[in-house]
Amino acid sequence: MERENSTVVTEFILLGLTQSQQAQLLVFVLVLVFYLIILPGNLLIILTIRSDPGLTAPLYFFLGNLAFLDASYSFIVAPRMLVDFLSEKKIISYRGCITQLFFLHFLGVGEMFLLVVMAFDRYMAICHPLRYSTVMSPRVCYALLLALWLGGFTHSIVQVALILHLPFCGPNQLDNFFCDVPQVIKLACTDTFVVELLMVSNSGLLTLLCFLGLLASYAVILYRVKGHTSEGKHKALSTCTTHIIIVFLMFGPAIFIYTRPFRAFPADKVVSLFHTVIFPLMNPVIYTFRNQEVKASMKRLLSHHMIC
């Protein structure tokens, strides 16, 4: 009851990506085309991995889950952003804002933990090949998958709990095209220093530690790869290079957004656009284009359905 009395704001006005009509139209077309091309590609990756009995290794199991997570993540922001481009007034309810914020961090951190699991999978496959099938058994893979979902859920619940205890009694304009912690906190009618510190610790520190841990693990893997045969070395380098590209695409924007005090920077919206819409859809596609087995299986699947 106390929170309801202190929270007067029932909706937020999103100021959007830009105020320029021409820029809005250009971004709308580009995002729509990108969305309609890449999203079916992600779904095709999931279908290919699920339908091919030859793609049962843990690497492909996790790749399918990455495609699912990224496709789900893109649904949180992109569809509403496209609708808002066509709306004169962009309004989101308080509950809708909190819901969007919850799923944004739930799936985002889940994907971050999945990249950590995928790095562990590559470490075991390259550095301990004799123990790989024992350690990365189907049971272990499902346990790791459950753990990353629970980790993402716990992280997101903490974020939402901190937001729900803040009073919102006046300003309701969010200078962004979606709801996220840095913008929402700034509208609270109280001193938010402690909450911002907790948020940076919860999101920023976690992101930075995972990023540094991933870089260290791939450095160890690349060092160990030097002793492999030329064929095995080439395949390991190709896989690790792909993983490292995805790590930078995923963690770069997140570190920029969450590891600093919540002050507005000119590049914030552009970084957020790539972080929430562009990069999530690209991640599985980058993996697939550099993986010969998945590409071959996808071609077989498409040719089979075309013939049928």
pLDDT exceeds 90 at position 261 = no
pLDDT exceeds 70 at position 1 = no
pLDDT exceeds 80 at position 2 = no
**pLDDT confidence tier of residue 147, bands split at 50, 70 and 90:** very high
Distance separating alpha carbons of residues 181 and 8, to the nearest angstrom: 19
CA-wise closest residue to 184 among 194, 193, 171, 197: 171
pLDDT exceeds 50 at position 3 = no
More reliable by pLDDT, 292 or 214: 214
Here the tokens at position 122 are 């590559």
**pLDDT confidence tier of residue 137, bands split at 50, 70 and 90:** very high
Helix, strand or coil, per DSSP, at residue 174: strand
pLDDT > 90: what percent of the chain?
A: 28
Distance separating alpha carbons of residues 186 and 188, to the nearest angstrom: 6
Q: Is the dihedral of CA 174, 175, 176, 182 positive or negative?
A: negative
Burial (CB < 10 A; 0-12, 13-18, 19+), residue 288, is buried
Reported as type and span, the H/E element at residue 21 is helix 21-51
Reported as type and span, the H/E element at residue 93 is strand 91-93
Helix, strand or coil, per DSSP, at residue 150: helix
What is the reported pLDDT for 143?
A: 97
| Cα 24 to chain centroid, rounded | 24
Q: What is the mean pLDDT of the chain?
A: 85
Helix, strand or coil, per DSSP, at residue 227: coil
- Greatest extent of the chain over all pairs of C-alpha atoms, in Å: 68
pLDDT exceeds 50 at position 5 = no
Q: Rounded mean pLDDT of 160-180?
A: 88
Query: How many degrees, rounded to 5, is the angle at CA 115 between CA 216 and CA 265?
Result: 85
What is the reported pLDDT for 227?
A: 65
Q: Rounded mean pLDDT of 97-112?
A: 94
pLDDT exceeds 60 at position 130 = yes
pLDDT exceeds 50 at position 284 = yes
Here the tokens at position 140 are 């272990």
Q: Rounded mean pLDDT of 53-81?
A: 88
CA-wise closest residue to 110 among 141, 146, 63, 60: 146
Here the tokens at position 286 are 């980058």
CA-wise closest residue to 42 among 16, 24, 63, 17: 63
Q: Which residue shows structure tokens 């989101």? A: 92
pLDDT exceeds 80 at position 228 = no
Count Cβ neighbours within 10 Å for each residue of 117-145 and write b for 16 or more, e otherwise. Answer: bbbbbbbbbbbeeeebeeebeeeebeebb
Q: Rounded mean pLDDT of 146-166?
A: 93
